[in-house]
Chain A
Amino acid sequence: MLWEKYKSTMKITVNEKCSSAYRKSDHMIQVKNLKKNYVIAKKEKGLGGAIKSLVKSEKQTIEAVKDISFQIAKGEIVAFLGPNGAGKSTTVKMMSGILTPTSGKIFINGKEPYQNRKEVVKDLGVVFGQRTQLNWDLRLGESFELLRHVYQIDKETYEQNLQVMDNILGISEIIDIPVRQLSLGQRMRGDLVAAMLHSPSVLFLDEPTIGLDVDGKYAIRKFIKEINRVKGTTVILTTHDLGDVQELCKRLIIINHGTIIEDGPLEELVERIAPYKDLVVEFYDEEAVEHPKAQLHKQKGNVAKYRFQKADITAAQLIQEISEKKSIKDVAIEEVTIDDIIRIAYHRE
């Protein structure tokens, strides 16, 4: 594989070329006005309802995905965020050809997955965090060997790919262990390798770090970063772990109630939702001072909490100006956590 060479010699230039040249023109993934409805039978309550539904049942349409459009460039890492049942997984499943959209268009590399399924999935790697594609009863290597046949990877490429991924994930230590005996973290590493064996240009990850310990998460994130950097793989992941987002993604798409409510870089979102910081000041007595550019947000005993807009004043200036008025014992600056920001984004209409 070519990228093997790139990795050692010209990785920086290649990488920069990828990100700058493709970002503007070539869209790896295009989604236009995507909709998905489910029809479910309405269940009535109680024994009487159950008998009634034997004869006649009412249908109910649920709009899982209402109207979603976005574009993803080659080499991007994008996180899909959203509360449970928001439509993230449905969107990912439509993009990977598992579900047929009710209406709207999807193009992966210019092809529509629900019409050219076989063509599209050849270039797709998919990992479901809660479900493995590995053979539970046999040693890990058997599952890889099987995929080699399914994706028609020639022996040489296969060995090479495995070698590269071994360097990042240390897969050779566990390749001879039956999958059922692997820890969750090890199994996840196996699943990632399985999804990347055929060197797809797009990788979908559905909650890849769910239930993993710190080491496990670290390994997975490192792998995603490496594979993206070296191979230019486009990565789309759904997650509830904001650590994933902070570590990996420049871009964030938040989905709620089947529509996109945010799409952009994380910092931008932070700026927009929380353009302020809090300054916690401890005085020597219970009397706090006022300041024109900061609002006294909370006060408890000797401790006062000021909220100030980042655009209005810097923290250093504020501390200085307050300390000029009254002597200060201790200060601390509090930023709004990412968790809070996402929660605010979810609940905002």
Chain B
Amino acid sequence: MCNGLAVNWRAFFYVYKTRIQKTLAYRFDVYGNIIWQCIVMFATAYFWKALYTGYDTVKGVQVEDMMTYTIVSSMMSLFFITFVEQRVIQSVEKGTVATDMLKPIPLFGIYFFEDLGYTTSLIVQNVIPIFIIGSIFIGVPVPHSTFMLLLFIPSVIMAYMINWLFAACFSTWAFTAINMNPMVQVKKHLIRLLSGCIIPMWFFPEWLSDILNVLPFVYIYQLPLDIYIGKYEMGILLQKMGIQALWLLVLWCLFVYLQKRVTKHVLVQGG
């Protein structure tokens, strides 16, 4: 696919741009989404504030950090949206997958750039407004230090890739399972609950968080957020980023393998 990427750069960029335009086309959706997301973010913030009444720090985390955590995780969950599963399921269900795969541009490449386009438009439309509204009404989510912010950016990019690759690998399941929708739901909720998106890992019992630290989920939300609020020392964080990079590599290999297998499967059986 690396090679393909160079060749198909123009096509991918086109897909990316079109997706942004499509998303921007519906302004009512945009306003509606922002209102909903703000309500949910406020609810989460007040949830923690209420729990913290009478406590200064819990598990070494202050209430201000918890507010920062809430705003940043709301922003992240906004642009970690992927459509790759839906697209693959639809093309398998409709039976267009064989013709889609025969197109000169790699199928998953198109899906990736569509998702990237969607993410880009979401940053403009939703993430920035949420950041501003959150800063005004809840408090400016200040990163622990400038250096942590610099570390946060590559970590978030890796997290985005892990999330996308995980979804892409997961989507290849559509070629075998009959109905994927329940599985997609399970996956979505597993990620939300076990990645620290809603409830930070440090509230989990130790045995559970030990297990989760080995799984890829925590490297989607928890690690970038840990970095942002400076939960651990630099050494530990860097070490965790190493594991994150390792997971990215593993998922990439798995993705390449599954993609090859699926292509073979489709070309032999015709979808």
Which A positions have Cβ atoms within 8 angstroms of B?
Answer: 43, 46-47, 50-51, 53-55, 57
Contact = CB atoms under 8 A, between A and B. Distances in A.
Contact of A53 (B20, B27, B124): B27
Contacts of A51: 24, 124
Given A53-B24, A55-B27, 12 more contacts: A43-B25, A46-B21, A47-B21, A47-B24, A50-B20, A50-B24, A50-B25, A53-B25, A53-B27, A54-B24, A54-B30, A57-B27
Contacts, number: 21
B135 interface: no
A55 B24 CA distance: 11
B213 interface: no
21 contacts: A43-B25, A46-B21, A47-B17, A47-B20, A47-B21, A47-B24, A50-B20, A50-B21, A50-B24, A50-B25, A51-B24, A51-B124, A53-B24, A53-B25, A53-B27, A54-B24, A54-B27, A54-B30, A54-B125, A55-B27, A57-B27
Specify which of B20, B24, B125 lies most central, judged by the most chain A CB atoms within 10 Å of its CB: B24
Nearest to A54: B27
Nearest to A52: B24
A47 B20 CA distance: 8
Q: Which among A46, A51, A57 has the highest number of chain B CB atoms within 10 Å?
A: A51
B96 to A, nearest CB: 18
Q: Indicate the member of A46, A51, A54, A55 with the most B CB atoms within 10 Å.
A: A54
A57 B17 CA distance: 20
A200 B184 CA distance: 46
A50 B27 CA distance: 10
A46 B20 CA distance: 10
Contacts of A43: 25
Contacts of B21: 46-47, 50
A52 to B, nearest CB: 9
A43 B30 CA distance: 16
Interface in B118-136: 124-125
Contacts of B125: 54
Interface in B22-81: 24-25, 27, 30
A24 to B, nearest CB: 52
B194 to A, nearest CB: 35
Most chain B CB neighbours (cut-off 10 Å) among A46, A47, A55: A47
A39 to B, nearest CB: 14
Nearest to B121: A50
Contacts of A57: 27
Interface string B200-228: 00000000000000000000000000000
Nearest to B30: A54
Contacts of A54: 24, 27, 30, 125
A53 B25 CA distance: 7
A180 to B, nearest CB: 13
A57 B24 CA distance: 12
Contacts of B17: 47
A51 B27 CA distance: 9
Closest 3 CB pairs of A and B: A50-B24, A50-B21, A54-B27
A96 B125 CA distance: 41
A161 B17 CA distance: 56
A291 B141 CA distance: 95
B9 to A, nearest CB: 18
A147 B235 CA distance: 70
A147 B177 CA distance: 34
